[in-house]
Structure 1
Amino acid sequence: MIVDFCSYNIRGLHNKISFAKDFLSHNKFGIAALLETHVKKEDAAFYSSIVAPKYKWLFNYDYHNNGRIWVGWDDTIWHVTLIDASAQQITCEVKHVDGGSSCLLSIIYASNDGVLRRHLWTKLTNLHQRYNSSADMPPWCLMGDFNIFLNSFETNGLMPRRQGYIFEFRTCINDLGLVDLRYHGAVFTWWDGNISAPVLRKLDRVLVNDTWLRTFDLSLANFLPRGLSDHNPATVYLGIVRDTIHKPFQLFKHLMDNEQFLSTVQQAWEDPVIGDKWFIVTTKLKRVKLALKNLNTSGGNLHANVLSARNALLNFQGLLPMAPSHAQRTEEGKLSNDLRRALLLEEKFLKQKSRVRWLNLGDGNNKFFYNSCKGRWNANKILNIYDEDGNNFTGHKNIASVAVSYFKN
């Protein structure tokens, strides 16, 4: 399953850089939003380039001095156009590069002040009226931290004294014709960090309109384990089947510099093979390729420790009941500390390595060559093709079939 969108209230980024980078790299979201990063405006470009170097980014620092919302996307997958931004939301028009999918996407980080949240409800209402007045409302998805819940069963604690704020939220989404997208995962998406008597609430959600439900009828939301935050990440799968293109194996210099490179190749090549000479050569080449793939994905002990600690924490959190016991909270805290220690060791290694290699790599032309290759790929890619009868085809397999058919004839 390809997860298309994600929003994550990460609750501070400075001490979670490696965790955030690993989270985004592991899941490969097309569009991802980070909320409550606590990063100053002058540092946003630097930190965003570390956690997701392939993303393009939008921030809302012009509307809030803390830049509470970051929206990043892979521009080889999605075209993103900013429609509106404020202190509590960023709304974009997103289109898949193959032209097959488009929608409005609003990333929400509502204020924890009920009075200030009224500005958000007004902004969303104005956006709805703006589109409804000109044409049919496009598919619309709103996801993020709304800082308020809708129903009594969405908390394990007492209802707030001022339930009027809940009524205002419910009125807004009813007026906009929004409903919760069907979802898997946690019901309560936030906890207050209290191990003895935790308060749990559903503050994060994914809302969609009826046009969305008609357009993406197989779409699904999923709330992933919290990780090092007190919020669960919200993800959206559009339910659209797209071609998976397998790239050919490539041998890069960094792998050749690995001290185990020669011994790995030698061991794979020297294993005996019985058959004719061509079969022997091709079989040995396949074995070498497989061995080098395994070497490339081994990642080193420090990174493996990070992955192991992260998986242990996320798997444990995924099995937690809605109201965990004191012992379960204590164990979760231990696993969180294990992950923090593994990340700290990895960060120390990477910082030391970057200082040693900076004179050799930092002042080179790597960025120039990367941008040149990216520009060529963007200029040469084929997103659609017409056959001899004028029929338009999209998708990797369809385009390949039309091209092969043309040259055969």
Structure 2
Amino acid sequence: MNDSFKLKEIKNFLHINKVIVCAPLETRVRPHNQGKIQKKLGDRWNWICNYGSTNKGRIWLGWVKGEARVRLLLASEQFVIVEVQNTQGECLFHYAAIYGLHTIEDRKSLWDDLRSFVNGLHSPCILMGYYNDVYQAIDKLQGSDITHAETMDFSNFMVDNCLSEAPTSGNFYSWSNKGHGANRISSRIDKAIVNVEWVSKYSDVVVKYLNAGVSDHSPLLFSLAEAHHEGGGRPFRFLNHLADQTGFLDMVKKAWDSPHCSWKMKKLFVNLHKTKEAIKIFHASSYSQAHCMVDAYRRQLETLQANPALNHDVDLQESEKETLEMLKKWSLINMSVVRQKSRISWLSQGDANSKFYFTAVKVRNAKSKIAMLLHNSQGEILTDPVIIGEEIKAFYMKLLGTNSDSIEAINIGMVRKGPRLSHQACNMLIQPVTTHEIDAALASIDDAKAPGLDGFNVVFSRKLGQ
């Protein structure tokens, strides 16, 4: 920021994007120069810096006067944590501006301090900035290989505190060394990490990774005023727990008994469609509110156990036993549904870590939304859902081509000159598929495998094959 050219670009970026709260990192401004540089950015800004923790003052946090209120909570060499409030003084979220040091050992204090902060927090929080660290292999392109030791602390911090990366758009890598050809190294060392409360309140907020401009790092930008985009209807997805419910097989058998049809493929299509509709009704009528049933049975159990007569009233004791059984049943159903939707396969079915599961579901839903296209063919940013749909349609129409009355035939002679399968291999490929092969294929598929386009998965097929 000592460079007048870069300072002008930063000022222009803040103005064009109407930024209200910002956190420039690695400013390289000495303590005695901070007032002069801040004045050049404009009198409308208030600033908090971490010069009290390091004379390098790598983290500046600024906000526009009259647009927001900011209260300093914690500061260290590697972060500045504040509470961001609206103009009425109501807390909007907690914000940690991060600047991770360069070695694994130096960053250990960062993880410890952040862990202490987020553990006792019950309001939305975003931890955003330059972590100087990655937690998965795809976060780096070229350069030296990522080791487990490099990712372990970051990964443990995320999992232990039920944190997740915020939904993002734009560029994937946030930093590059500006090298040329094979010497260019890119990585995603700038991230926005959020807690469960953030996901619950701001699930539609997308962090945009913009072009780096004059910096080595991409600016990360988000707005709480993101429009809430309504999606279409939910596609059908078979829920595994339904296969274990009483009456499931009878319901499927009844739905499968469709009117006679001479075309086998059409009959299969009609039967699957009727079965799908029957399953939707079966689920909606009895199992669609599993989480509500869990809450209801918890309250019922609490009421029963608070009754002093429970110790000598046999009827109350029997009610307690039945309530416990129903609570366990509905809790397992609820966890099965949420686990399947979140696709978190490495947590056990009995692990009642519903807070983490629900966070994973909300993050997946937020990431699956196309809230914006960073650029269309003219380089414009699109946010309107209708225009986004038209742009996607136009892209694939151009990609797939147009109708043609004729197509160029394959040159058989040229094909025969190239590599070909042996006669034995050709015969093997046209052999009839046996029942044993089908059963073996089904048995090898994991229950958590994503369903096909029709929404049915391997659990449904296995249940019908029993």
TM range (shorter): 0.5 to 0.7
2:77 aligned partner, one-letter code: A
Q: How does 1:254-333 map to 2 (within 5 A)?
A: none
CA distance in 2, matches of 1:236, 1:187: 15
- Taking only the aligned residue pairs, the percentage that are identical comes to 25
1:69 aligns with 2:66: no
Look up the equivalent residue of 1:228 and give its one-letter code: V
1:127 counterpart residue number: 117
- Higher Cα Rg: structure 1 or 2? 2
Matched position secondary structure for 1:16? helix
Contact kept, 8 Å, 2:137 with 2:146, in 1: the verdict is: no
For the structure 1 residues 161 and 95, does the alpha-carbon distance in structure 2 shift closer, same or farther, using more than 3 Å as the test? closer
What is the alpha-carbon distance in structure 1 between the residues aligned to residue 113 and residue 3 of structure 2? 28
Cα deviation, residue 120, structure 1: 0.4
Matches within 5 A, 1:33-48: 33-48=23-38
How far the C-alpha of 1:175 sits from its partner, in A, is 1.5
Amino acid in the other structure paired with 1:227: G
Deviations 1:36-64 (A, max 9, x none): 11110111111012124311000001111
- 2:195 maps to what in 1? 209
SS state at 2:181 partner: coil
For 1:161 and 1:211, the matched residues in 2 are separated by 31
Q: Distance in 1 between matches of 2:7 and 2:77?
A: 24
1:95 aligns with 2:85: yes
| Higher RCO by CA contacts (8 Å cutoff, separation 6 or greater) | 1
Report the CA distance between 1:157 and its aligned residue. 1.5
Determine if the alignment matches structure 1 residue 86 to structure 2 residue 81.
no
Number of matched pairs = 230
Once residues 160 and 84 of structure 1 are traced to their aligned partners in structure 2, the CA distance between those partners, rounded to angstroms, is 35
Structure 2 residue aligned with 1:55: 45
Give the C-alpha shift of residue 158 in structure 1: 4.7
Preserved contact between residue 34 and residue 71 of structure 1 (Cα < 8 Å) = yes
Distance 2:95 2:40 in 1: 24
Q: CA deviation at 1:162?
A: 4.5
Q: Residue 108 of structure 2 aligns to which amino acid in structure 1?
A: R
Over residues 41-95 of structure 1, what are the superposed CA-to-partner deviations in whole Å (9 max), with x where a residue is unaligned?
Answer: 1111110121243110000011111100000001312110000000000000111
- The answer on whether the counterparts of 1:152 and 1:159 sit within 8 Å (CA) in structure 2 is no
Alignment partner of 1:147 out of 113, 128, 132: 132
> CA separation in 2, counterparts of 1:13 and 1:63?
24
| CA RMSD, 1 decimal | 2.3
Q: 1:274 aligns to what?
A: none
User: Secondary structure of 1:107's match?
Assistant: strand
**Deviations 1:182-209 (CA, angstroms, capped at 9, x unpaired):** 1111101100111132111001111111
Matches within 5 A, 1:349-368: none
- Runs (4+) off by over 2 Å: 12-15, 98-101, 158-163, 239-242
TM-score, length of structure 1 as denominator length: 0.53
Q: How far is 1:217 from its partner?
A: 2.2
Q: Deviations over 1:254-308 (max 9, x none)?
A: xxxxxxxxxxxxxxxxxxxxxxxxxxxxxxxxxxxxxxxxxxxxxxxxxxxxxxx
Distance (Å, rounded) in 2 between the aligned partners of 1:14 and 1:108: 25
**TM-score between the two structures when normalised by the length of structure 2:** 0.47
Q: Secondary structure at the match of 2:222?
A: strand
